[in-house]
Amino acid sequence: LVHREAITHSQLIHPNILPFLGIYHQTAESPPITILPLMERGSLQDTLNGSSIDTDTFSRIVSPISHHYCQLTLRTYHWNTQLIGITSGVVYLHSRSPSIVHGDLHPGNILLDLAGNPYLCDFGLSRIRHEITRTRTMIQEAGRLRFLAPELSGGWSKRFRTSPASDIFSLAMTFYNAWGGRLPFHEVRNDIKVAGKYRKGLRPDHPSDAVALAQTSKQPLWELLQEMWAQEPSSRP
């Protein structure tokens, strides 16, 4: 399975897909280790948690200008760049023949280089679309229920099939998280309860801004998110 994933990954060449460098076997019996580039800024989740900020470097850059103003400006620049890059990477996967579904999109699986450019990574749950079937148990173990489409988190024994539409739902929740700086339904501590809300058609409220979006951009973006997380997969863009 790892080798099949590696072959698929090695064929993906895109500015926003983490490059595949190879596989390493320490011994003949040891499991293979995938070799990937080091992304110095960690993941988008690290940035949202505030754990990837080099404060000394940041201070040197912004010292001549208001710290607060520059922080908002840089966040907005990086956020716009990241949104475009992440979307471009997903479109590339879905446009392959046969299409590739990532299957595990969330901020922790989006890595950032020093310039803040995003790279999709961790295709551990991604598969060629016509091959995948899994159970809810495996998805719950992956711990990504807040970003998982409602059609994938049904009954314990219900079989499901990921699709480009399920990736689009995950993409919407990822953008929501980045926009507001908080998890979807952050006030609910239990991930399973959040998944239950999704299955009932409930969605998080309009986020408070964590990035300084132009006023003219907020409503169109909010309307786009509502299309992307539509309950019916066929209704998603």
List the catalytic residues. Answer: 104
Q: Where are the beta strands (DSSP E) in the chain?
A: 22-24, 33-35, 100-101, 110-112, 118-120, 127-128, 134-135, 159-160
Partner residues linked to 34 by β-bridges? 23
Angstrom distance (rounded) from CA 182 to CA 76: 16
Partner residues linked to 41 by β-bridges? none
> Two tokens at 58?
């940041």
Residue 131 φ then ψ, to 5°: -105, -15
Please report how the helices 55-62 and 67-95 are oriented relative to each other, as an axis angle in degrees rounded to 10.
120
> Two tokens at 217?
């951009």
> Two tokens at 41?
């800024």
Supply the DSSP symbol for 101: E
Question: To which residue do tokens 């072959």 refer?
Answer: 7
Supply the DSSP symbol for 229: T
Identity of the residue numbered 190? N
Give a three-class secondary structure readout of 148-191. Answer: CCHHHCCCCCCEECCCHHHHHHHHHHHHHHHHHCCCCCCCCCCH
